[in-house]
Amino acid sequence: MQTEAEWKFTAKDIAEKPDLFLSGHRACAGCGPATVLRLIMKAVRGPTIVTNATGCMEVVSSIYPYTSWAIPWLHTAFENAAANASGIEAALKILKKKGRSKHEHVDVIALAGDGGTYDIGIQALSGAVERGHDFLYVLYDNEAYMNTGIQRSGGTPLGASTTTSPAGTVIPGKLEHKKPIADIMVAHDMPYVATASPYYWRDLLVKVRKGLEVNGPAFLHVFAPCPRGWRSDPAKSIELSRLAVETCIFPLWEAVNGEYQLSTPSKVFALAPQKKKPVKEYLQVQGRFRHLFTPKFEKLTEEIQRVTDERWKRLLKKCGM
């Protein structure tokens, strides 16, 4: 992977940089994806076009005749974000070749939620990556189809109660594990794949910039709490973003040309395992997991801890730790 010199910045630099995802949108209080988008736009390096699949962030940011986007932005269908991004990137190449673009380079960012990535849009994403289009794909993962009524997706974790996997007397919420989407993208032999959390905002900004600088497709999987769907305190969204990393439910790492390496926030728990927190601390503050703390389903909490530990060990092995 060839990138430019490492991007150096201070908190003051970021605070003073004009917002490109503006206030006034209709997102819920405590919306994790809204915070994620604002941070991502702070990391752009020049002319940028964003294409956004149908989903929460499209709905709340572009209610006609208003918009929260201060850059060129396109809404596309649920399944088409990656296909749309590849078309934009190809068009930009032709315009440049014909001398009809005034810009030396324009970055392209595709945004989609977990439904538009894990499920409906994975075929377009896989194809665009195979073709090698130069764009950054950002998955903001709030772990269900939130804008259409909180239906489960391939990103919904085991045991989470949603409207299509309701916890009750028969089932304990979703019966399947969360799909390892970032690992699936690494298997595409992409130059750059990473995970990020808004609590570790500096790590997130650096990874966005790396994804833009890479010559070829890049994939960023960002954890994005949803108070409405997770039935959590809106004031705790960023705290949940930290807990997910501290419990290793959502470890932070990057893979450059297929080589895994832990990011600093997660490396802390690899070097000092006693600091790793039990998953119960993360689960118990969310209403969607409330049933797991009843005698009938408490064994599922143990299963979530077991699988989390197993995946963490596997990741450490990939990182050579």
pLDDT tens for 230-264 read 999 999 999 999 999 999 999 999 999 999 999 99
Residue 282: the pLDDT is 98
pLDDT tens for 116-142 read 999 999 999 999 999 999 999 999 999
Rounded mean pLDDT, 292-309: 95
Rounded mean pLDDT, 299-303: 96
Residue 1: the pLDDT is 56
The pLDDT confidence band at residue 266, using thresholds 50, 70 and 90, is very high
pLDDT tens for 47-57 read 999 999 999 99
pLDDT tens for 16-75 read 999 999 999 999 999 999 999 999 999 999 999 999 999 999 999 999 999 999 999 999
Residue 96: the pLDDT is 96
Task: Reply yes or no on whether the pLDDT at 212 is more than 90.
Answer: yes
Residue 6: the pLDDT is 81
Task: Reply yes or no on whether the pLDDT at 277 is more than 80.
Answer: yes
Work out the mean pLDDT of the chain and round it to a whole number: 96
Residue 69: the pLDDT is 97
CB 75 within 8 Å of CB 84: no
The pLDDT confidence band at residue 200, using thresholds 50, 70 and 90, is very high
Residue 4: the pLDDT is 61
- What percentage of the chain exceeds 70 in pLDDT? 99
Task: Reply yes or no on whether the pLDDT at 5 is more than 90.
Answer: no
The pLDDT confidence band at residue 321, using thresholds 50, 70 and 90, is very high
CB 92 within 8 Å of CB 51: no
- What percentage of the chain exceeds 90 in pLDDT? 97
pLDDT tens for 96-121 read 999 999 999 999 999 999 999 999 99
- Ramachandran sector of residue 157 (left: φ over 0; alpha: ψ -120 to 50; beta: rest): beta
